[in-house]
Amino acid sequence: MDIERRSGCPINLTMEVLGDRWSLVVIRDIMFGNRRHFRELLNRSEEGIASNILAARLKRLVSLDLITKLDDPTHAQKAIYSLTEPAIQLVPMIAMIGAWGRRHLPVSEDLSIRAELLENGGPALWDDFMNDLRNIHIVDPIGGANGSVRSPVLINLTNAFLEVRARMQRKE
Amino acid sequence: MDIERRSGCPINLTMEVLGDRWSLVVIRDIMFGNRRHFRELLNRSEEGIASNILAARLKRLVSLDLITKLDDPTHAQKAIYSLTEPAIQLVPMIAMIGAWGRRHLPVSEDLSIRAELLENGGPALWDDFMNDLRNIHIVDPIGGANGSVRSPVLINLTNAFLEVRARMQRKE
DNA sequence: GCAACCAGTTGCAAATTGCAATTAGATGGA
DNA sequence: TCCATCTAATTGCAATTTGCAACTGGTTGC
């Protein structure tokens, strides 16, 4: 798949690549939820993506070299989806997107704690996170997918999220 | 106009607001090109937006409180479009989007010089720019639109762009 | 052997997009 | 006054994209 290239403007080109309602949400789930299989992305999606849309987006993101698709050695028709280096470098942009959304849109407390931590951590945390992501998506995508290799930053973000959600559920 | 709110995730919500091929391109032209009238946005668009799409996006962005529409005192059916504070606070996010696009997509030299300067300037430049934008969009939108009030940062960015473009045209 | 699980695909209706033509009012100059 | 031009759109129409539900062909675990 190729982009249209309506112009050579970096903002325009980025919107040609990521400017739809689903692509960045799928990347977010792979990146922050470490969802590496089709079923995980489909069934555990907060937004309820449809299977045909997910399939189309994954195929498109593979062809744009933002994710890779790898055979899962433990299961013949399972695939492992992993982020590529360009997608990992989206971290600072995604941090800013989360920061803006948190300030100006009706977010929920549990789903915005990770954006808050990422914003407060600043470039130092983003770099740590990007290095972790390289380990579980590029260096060892299989180990990253089955949990034998983990990201310390991701563990912290996930724990914070689970704590906030547990606290919210206790209160109602 | 309301957003759908598929979930309370800040990334999802931001994509619900800005996740289409045109909204951020229109905001970019208002912000960096200081295009404040419908005709300027339509005719001087690098990407060739269609008039119905532009009209729909402007209406949607007004209803989302990202831009305001004001009567132009010099012409009864001319309108002045201005950024609101939430849109001005998109500057850091747009800087990151431009930085990523410049690194990973087939940008042209002239249209990416502003993204480069904005990235190199860092948060200090972004804050200066945001203060300038407040002056020409919120404090005095009419003066900002007719050029009697100007943004120093925008003048620098625009001059850099014009210089690169002039240099490119000389070479071919 | 069989139920559950896997990654999708297919069919179809609805919504959105993009292009070209058109509109109604405002303005400027002869 | 007349008329060309400018303004911010709107309309009609074809093509594309989206979203939902059902289905497929194969694999795995018991």
- List pLDDT tens digits, range B119-145: 999 999 999 999 999 999 999 999 999
- Residues A48-68, buried b or exposed e (16+ Cβ, 10 A)? ebeeeebeebbebbbebebbb
Name the nucleotide nearest A48; use CA and C1': D19
Which pLDDT value is given to residue B168? Answer: 93
Using DSSP's 3-state secondary structure scheme, residue A9 falls into coil
Which pLDDT value is given to residue A146? Answer: 94
- List pLDDT tens digits, range A58-76: 999 999 999 999 999 998 8
What confidence category does residue B59 fall into, taking pLDDT thresholds of 50, 70 and 90? very high
Please give the domain boundaries of chain A with CATH numbers for all domains.
Answer: 10-171 (1.10.10.10)
Using DSSP's 3-state secondary structure scheme, residue A161 falls into helix
Name the nucleotide nearest A51; use CA and C1': C8
- List pLDDT tens digits, range A42-58: 998 999 999 999 999 99
Sign of CA dihedral A62, A67, A70, A74: negative
Whether the per-residue pLDDT at B76 is higher than 90: the answer is: no
Report CA-CA distances (Å) from B9 to A82, A113, B43.
Answer: 22, 9, 36
- List pLDDT tens digits, range A107-164: 999 999 999 999 999 999 999 999 999 999 999 999 999 999 999 999 999 999 999 9
Residues 4-23 of B with CB under 8 A from A: 5-17, 19-22
Looking at the complex, does the CB of residue B168 fall below 8 Å from at least one CB of chain A?
Answer: no
CA gap B33, A74 in Å, rounded: 54
CB–CB contact A12 B106 (8 Å): no
Q: How far is the CA of A60 from the C1' of D21 (A)?
A: 23
CB–CB contact B8 A89 (8 Å): no
